[in-house]
Amino acid sequence: MRIASLLPSATEMVCAVGARDHLVGVSHECDFPPGLDGVPSLTRPRSTMPQGSGAIDQAVREILKNAVSVYEVDVDRLRAAKPDLIVTQTLCEVCAVSTHDVQRALRELAGEDVAVVSLEPTRLADVWQDLRRVGEATDRLEAGNAAAEQLEERVAHIGRRSQATNPGRPGVLTIEWLDPVMIGGLWMPELVELAGGSPLVTETGQHAPTLDREALESLDPEVVLIKPCGYSLDQTQRELPLLRAALPPHWRAVTEGHVFLTDGNAYFNRPGPRLVESLEILAACVHPDAFPDLVDRHREALRVLDPQGQIQDFPPPR
């Protein structure tokens, strides 16, 4: 079977079910697991994006105003790849090529029999079910079931630990964009609850809302996790002035040094197997004393914004 994956989370799923060697094409953003450099890229941005959260947001809105997605399929490369199966998504036209673009590309390959699996997860159960679907579509249903069950058990284990040792449920705000400020939705409230926190603003399955300054000022989170969609940890750190301006200074998370920065591209915003690592990172932030092993495991994936507005290594000094 010749498999084309058009989004990073799908590529991780294909590899998780043991079909890595059958990949004949991936998206331009597929960067995990290591070793994908030699697989042809089948997608590309429609235009070069500017630097900075605010400028990127404006550019994306302009693109979508014209009813097109941010990325497009390279039809020539898709034709050359000759896939039997394409794994794509319908969840977000900002994160990957749209279903419309995929269907249009397939029409240009008229006469070729290509199966399409489209993923649209909005909560954790959907992600694990998508993994099973990818296993079934790649003739690896047993491997897909086994991989999903293993991830489900790891998630449940964290949930049991947080319940057993939880000294309280602090209010947790997850931020997935800085200008404007957008709050993490979809599976993020689930992750917060499993980590032993109380999610603020959003409920499971809800898409990310945008909050103005007045709405932000009305909140008082005890823990804040900043993980901009598509941003590495280094990119997030480069927006330090914007970080300082975005967070109301009266928040307890700010005054007590419980504002954490992490990699929103590798974790949290990618609905695939590494949502389990995302949960571990979040648990290390919310209850570091209850999860010392996760603090040690993920210290390189996190930074802390101290009360003076400076970025420090994780864990924060006591």
**Sign for the pseudo-dihedral over CA of 273, 274, 277, 282:** negative
CB atoms within 10 A of CB 56: 20
pLDDT at 77: 93
CATH of the domain at 271: 3.40.50.1980
- Considering the domain architecture, whether residues 178 and 304 belong to the same structural domain is answered as yes
Which candidate, 136, 148, 137, 139, places its Cα nearest to that of 86? 137
Average pLDDT over residues 143-163: 97
Query: Residue 46, Cα to own-chain centre: how many angstroms?
Result: 21
Residue 26 is given by DSSP the state B
| Whether pLDDT at 60 is above 70 | no
- Considering the domain architecture, whether residues 131 and 249 belong to the same structural domain is answered as no
User: Which range, of 88-102, 164-178, 222-236, averages the lowest pLDDT?
Assistant: 88-102
| Whether pLDDT at 57 is above 60 | no
Q: What's the domain count of the chain?
A: 2
Query: Considering the domain boundaries, does residue 153 fall inside one?
Result: no
Q: Which two tokens stand for residue 44?
A: 């590309």
Query: Considering the domain boundaries, does residue 162 fall inside one?
Result: no
- Considering the domain architecture, whether residues 200 and 248 belong to the same structural domain is answered as yes
Asked if 16 and 131 touch (Cβ cutoff 8 Å), the reply is yes
What are the respective helix, strand and coil percentages of the chain, to the nearest 5?
40, 15, 40
Query: Considering the domain boundaries, does residue 16 fall inside one?
Result: yes
pLDDT at 165: 76
Burial label for 60, CB within 10 Å (0-12, 13-18, 19+), is middle
Query: Considering the domain boundaries, does residue 297 fall inside one?
Result: yes
Query: Considering the domain boundaries, does residue 191 fall inside one?
Result: yes
- Considering the domain architecture, whether residues 140 and 10 belong to the same structural domain is answered as yes
| Whether pLDDT at 51 is above 90 | no
- Considering the domain architecture, whether residues 50 and 141 belong to the same structural domain is answered as yes
Query: Considering the domain boundaries, does residue 160 fall inside one?
Result: no
**Whole domain around residue 249: which residue ranges?**
169-313
* Confidence tier at 315 by pLDDT (50, 70, 90): confident
pLDDT at 277: 98
Residue 260 is given by DSSP the state E
Q: Which two tokens stand for residue 174?
A: 């997850």
